[in-house]
Amino acid sequence: MYIPKVLVWKDEMTTGVVEIDAQHKYLIDFFNDLGHSIQKRYDSEDVSKVLKVMKFYAEWHFGKEEECMAHYHCPAAQKNSKAHVVFVEKLHEFQKEFERSGGSIELAANIHEELTNWIVNHIMVVDTQLYPYVPANK
């Protein structure tokens, strides 16, 4: 049985942009809720909700984040944009699988595992590169 890891916000995840950090914290809470659902009260609607929220979130948050990276002339901007494209492609794959499977608990576990790993790695490796370029952090 899949045991979802609990994501915890750490100061090392800070981008230095309050709005972006708040959005990242929301995302962490959101995925912790999915993990809790997988363990306690799974319903296929949980997968549907995750996919809908992530589609909106990817369009909205990624746009904001890319604007910040461009605005502050962060050298990781292009790497960030490319990583976002990969994430969106992964979401499309999950959506297709959801339509085929009807939202199995196995799919929920796969979504949780892959996206939580992606999110933490992306924030820690790419997004945090913005921090030194935000004037308030100097």
- Between CA 10 and CA 7 the distance in angstroms is 9
pLDDT at 24: 95
pTM of the model: 0.89
pLDDT at 19: 95
pLDDT in tens, 23-56: 999 999 988 888 888 888 778 888 888 889 888 9
* C-beta of residue 113 within 8 angstroms of C-beta of residue 54: no
pLDDT in tens, 86-103: 999 999 999 999 999 888
Exposure letters 25-54 (e unless 16+ CB within 10 A, then b): eebbebbbebbebbeeebeeebbebbbeeb
Q: Residue 65 — very low, low, confident or very high, per pLDDT cuts 50/70/90?
A: very high
- Between CA 138 and CA 59 the distance in angstroms is 30
> How far, rounded to the nearest angstrom, does the alpha carbon of residue 106 sit from its chain's CA centroid?
19
Domain covering 16-137: architecture:
Up-down Bundle (1.20)
1: pLDDT strictly greater than 90: no
2: pLDDT strictly greater than 90: no
